Structure formats: C-alpha cells, structure tokens
Amino acid sequence: MNLILKGSICYSKSLRELATLEGGYIVCEGGVSRGVFREVPEKYSTFSVADYGESVIIPGLVDLHLHAPQYSYRGLGMDLELLDWLSTHTFPEESRYAELDYADKAYSAFVDNLKRGSTTRAGVFATIHAPATLLLMEKLEHSGLVTLVGKVNMDRNSPDFLREASAQSAYEATRAWIEQSLGKFRNTAPIISPRFVPTCTGELMRGLGELQKEFGLPVQSHLSENRGEIAWVKELHPRAEFYGEVYDSYGLFGGDGVPTIMAHCVWSHGAEEALLRENGVYIAHCPQSNTNLASGIAPIRRFLEGGQRVGLGTDVAGGCHTSIFRAMTDAIQCSKLRWRLVEQNDAPLTVPEAFYLGTIGGGSFFGKVGSFEDGYEFDAVVIDDSPLAATNPLPLEDRLARIIYLSNDSQIRAKYVRGKKV
C-alpha cells in the first residue's frame, strides 16, 4: 500500500478551488494520501513510482445513490413518472431477485459495470431479499470497491410479490442479514434502507431505528422526490409537518451521530431543509433521475449556500447512466435551467463545483475521501484523455472539463481504492 503515482493531477481543495499539477506525484502510504508534490520528498524515495505520463489522475468518484437490481432495465420506461414507473418496471423486476440464480446473473453484470467505471465508492440499494443482498455484497467485496449496501425494507403499499409479510418478519430478516454481513467484509458493509415512507409502516420504521442504534449503522432512503409522492406521505402521516419528520420520528434522519443519506430532496424547503442541515443529513443529488422521471430540479445552489452536505448519485435506473461524470454534467445543466426558468438568484453550478460534489461532496460520507490532500484515503482514477485531444494544447483544468463532459469508461487506465489497484 506504499506507492507513488505520477501524472497530470486534478483534485478539489474546496467547493470552488480546483488544484491541478502536471507531471506531479501523489504519495500513498498505507492506503492514505500523503499529498501531492512537484518532486518526490526524500522520505518517500524508496516507494515505487507508477508513471502514467500525460494521463490525468483524479480522486475516485463517489455515487451516493443507486439501485443495483435496476441496472438491468436502465433506459426503459422513461416516458413514465415515479409512481407509475415503480409499479410498471421497478417492482416486477425487483421481485425476480427472490431467485438467487437470477440475482447472480444480474448482479454480476451490475458489479462488472461499476468496477469498469470511474466510481470507487457507492451507497447501494439491493431488494427486500436477504440472500440476494448478501450475494451482491460478496460480489462487490470481490470488486475491491468500497460500498454500503442495503437490504431494502417495504411492508405496505407494495405488490404482493414484493412486500415483506409483516413489520415483525421484516425486522427479523433485516436483523439476521445485519448479523450475517456486519464485519464480514473489508470494503462492504450494511446500511439500513427503508425504501421510502409510503412502503414502510411506522412499526417497521421503529424497528429499523432500533437496529440502527443497536448496530450503529448508517441509513439511506428517499425524500421529497416527486410532488405526488409528497402528497401521499402527507395522507399517510397527516400529523407530520413535513416528509422528513416521519423518518426523524423513528431515528432515521441523521443527528446523534447517525450518518444518513437522503436521495433527491427536489422539493425540500422550510422546516425540512432546516432539519436536513441541523442533522447533517447528506443529500444525494440525482439530477438525471429527477429529469427522467419529471420530478423537478433540486435547489442545489441554495442547499450549498445554506451549508447542506451534498453529493451526487446516478440513481440507476431512474438515471440511465452509471457514470458520476455524467451526473456532474447533468447537475450543471439542470442548475442552468433552474437558474434561467425558476430562480434567478440561484446561480448555476460550475465545472469545479460539480467535480467537488462528485468527489469530496459525496466522499466525505465515507470519511476523509475524495481528495489527494494529506490524510485522505487513497482512491484514484487514471484517465487517458488523448482520444479527446484538442487541436491545441489545453491547460489541465480544461482537459478535466472535457473528461467530465466527453470521456467514457474505455478511457480509464487504472483505478485504485484505499491504495490498492483494482
């Protein structure tokens, strides 16, 4: 785990500050970055150097929100909105993961794709099926990526073929799955994953809150994605002032050291927005999914200025694409349309800002992750951008912009996670 990479290095120092260095060296000691240097410091002179020449080296990208069983049907049903899309495509497909043979085939394709891409860390939803979820965790562990994986919970408002029989049995199955998976892997760990409020009874959410406390696990779910969904939550929980308060009432909404990711937050505002911030909940911004399902555009500029924690998610298969580079450009593009058409006080996101969101923004959910500064875990992606070559030499910041807008997985030369080449 001691090594040095040489190349054209790009990483974020803060939301607005992009650091670039051509022909620079990143030192990795014991899986942790010791920083970026123009020359190799004397004390690291014994470390071996992998020289990637002109290739661009960036921190590994972080996908805060995606659904492994939905990879199989990405690009389908895109003419529907959220709730119709769930019942027409998502639920029937997810029910197939009751069969381990099917899960084996489909999850293999998913993990192969994730490994080939530029993502090094991810928050992943599986299905309600514990055996298939364990299988997915084994495959992800084998990939070398760092992931949090959730057996999904749903015990109401779901079709018979994809519903846990009762809150009690869901609790027991989830508990057993946690006991089987927690501590079993080096890079893969369980995360509490109620699908969303409409599909989870209060009794089940209470049980999940207890499991969270008992095992000290992180939490992931969905929040305020679509106006129809929000109205439905209001019907189901008329006494809750806002959607997020329902999760919060069961200890599933951050605060008290409960690391929590809420995907979407397209329509979060007022008291919900305040509680997200107060509780340090991570917002997984999934712009392509929010576009494909006609949900809307999350107010990311306002969130950032308000001090929210924000990362990016592909939300496969609400989003069709598994690349966080695509999520960066989608985030920029959506922010421009929101600025032009909805709220002229919220300036568009810039390329350096979107790059920050896809690296440190989501990476910080996993600890010191998403940068090459001293002390960060060493996740890196090496990209050969020569197929994108311009007719004139470009500064490194412009080369990075072109990689973000134009590159594809075939241009990835190498990928390192926690100092290990994967």
Residues that bind its own copies (CB under 8 A): 72-76, 78-79, 102, 105-106, 109, 288, 291-292, 294-297, 320-321, 329, 332-334, 336-342, 348, 350-351, 388, 390-392, 394, 398, 401-402, 404-406, 408, 410
* Min dist. Cβ of residue 118 to its own copies (A): 16
DSSP state of 349: P
- Bridge partners, residue 61, by sequence: 119
Instruction: Report the alpha-carbon distance of residue 330 to residue 364 in Å, rounded.
Output: 21
**How far is it between the farthest Cα atoms of the chain?**
65
Looking at the Cβ atoms of 81 and 373, the one nearer to its own copies is: 81
Instruction: Report the alpha-carbon distance of residue 91 to residue 85 in Å, rounded.
Output: 9
* Min dist. Cβ of residue 319 to its own copies (A): 10
* Min dist. Cβ of residue 288 to its own copies (A): 8
Please report where in the chains the tokens 């057993």 appear, as a residue.
176
* Min dist. Cβ of residue 79 to its own copies (A): 5
* Min dist. Cβ of residue 177 to its own copies (A): 23
The Cβ-side half-sphere exposure at 40, using a 13 Å CA radius, reads 18
CB within 8 Å of 174: residues ≥ 6 apart: 130, 151, 153, 192, 207, 208, 211
* Min dist. Cβ of residue 179 to its own copies (A): 30
Pairing of strands 18-29, 3-12: antiparallel
Question: 308-320 burial, b if ≥16 CB within 10 A, otherwise e?
Answer: bbbbbbbbbbbbb
* Min dist. Cβ of residue 326 to its own copies (A): 11
CB within 8 Å of 110: residues ≥ 6 apart: 68, 69, 71, 72, 136
Looking at the Cβ atoms of 50 and 126, the one nearer to its own copies is: 126
Looking at the Cβ atoms of 33 and 55, the one nearer to its own copies is: 55
What's the start-to-end Cα distance of the chain, in Å? 12
- Is 177:190 a contact under the CB 8 Å cutoff? yes
3-class secondary structure, 29: strand
Looking at the Cβ atoms of 267 and 366, the one nearer to its own copies is: 267
- Is 196:153 a contact under the CB 8 Å cutoff? no
Looking at the Cβ atoms of 113 and 157, the one nearer to its own copies is: 113
Looking at the Cβ atoms of 20 and 157, the one nearer to its own copies is: 20
* Min dist. Cβ of residue 102 to its own copies (A): 7
Name the amino acid, one letter, at 199: T
CB within 8 Å of 266: residues ≥ 6 apart: 224, 225, 226, 290, 295, 296, 297, 298
Looking at the Cβ atoms of 80 and 236, the one nearer to its own copies is: 80
* Min dist. Cβ of residue 77 to its own copies (A): 8
Looking at the Cβ atoms of 308 and 329, the one nearer to its own copies is: 329
Looking at the Cβ atoms of 105 and 269, the one nearer to its own copies is: 105
* Min dist. Cβ of residue 291 to its own copies (A): 4
Looking at the Cβ atoms of 367 and 395, the one nearer to its own copies is: 395
Nearest to 205, CA basis, from 236, 182, 184, 226:
236
DSSP state of 377: B
